Amino acid sequence: MVGGATKVVGVIGDPIEHSLSPRMHNAAFENLGLDYIYLALRVLEKDLKNAVKGAKAFNLKGFNVTIPHKVSIIKFLDEIDLTARKIGAVNTVVNEDGKLLGYNTDGLGALEALREEGVDPEGKKIVVIGAGGASRAITFQLASICSKLLILNRTRIRAVKLAGELTNIGFEVEGRGLTLKSLESGLNDSNILINTSSVGMYPNVTESPVPKEFLRKDLVVFDIVYSPLETSLLRYARSVGAKSINGVGMLVNQGAVGFKMWTGYEAPRDIMRRAVIEGLLGRD
């Protein structure tokens, strides 16, 4: 039962009503018997600075950050973890004795999602669609272990810029505009395809960033979208016999890292996963 000693965490973003993070984290708190509650908090861009001040004033234990605040929140935090600073985006904030510390757990969540599905990206050739915040986190995580990374984005300059940042660190990364030609040639000799764009996300469930004919049986297809559970891209992948991975694993794994930061306890990932899937299926 919520009381005076209940510790509060949450997620800020706009929109936020669709978020499954409260369902996921509250199921984990209940499973471990922790006196915590997780809330979804809608914060407009113009109110972000005051929201961060409020989080500190209300002594929130921490919070997640989602669209559109992952980049803009950085200037309002007390300290930024080195990885998050390199990525240029924050998705997890921890309140440490009144100081708000920013982290990014998206890349680690994606890597763990691949590995728990039996896919090891080390030494592989990877194509990533998108160059936004999620792509930045994932590419910074994977560039150090894969043999080659190709970033494709509708706005070419963003893909080239991100690739340049990674190349400067010493990784083999290329950025191109997202076209049918670049997709076909890029996927031709790649092992893993990762979609970090919102194409195919509810309610635009019939859209796919990649035509079915470009997919093949020996390609791993990872779509970080988790609503719907099976996007058009993943349905195409399954139809050609390719291994398909949805975004639930990334959501759960990145959330589990933040959970431990806030509570000190290992997250019950199976409980969190079940809560997310039941939420997506409309089960109470």
Residue among 164, 131, 171 nearest 149 (CA):
171
Q: Is 62 within 8 Å of 9 (Cβ atoms)?
A: yes
Q: How far apart are CA 222 and CA 114, in angstroms?
A: 8
Q: Does 211 sit behind a cis peptide bond, omega within 30 degrees of 0 on the bond before it?
A: no
Q: What angle do CA 63, 65, 67 make, to 5 degrees?
A: 155
70, 124, 125, 148: the active-site residue: 70
- For the chain, state the CA radius of gyration: 19
- Annotated catalytic residue 70: yes
What is the per-residue burial (b if ≥16 Cβ within 10 Å, else e) of 207-240?
ebbbeeebbeeebbbbbbbbbbeebbbbebbeeb
- Which residues are tagged catalytic? 70
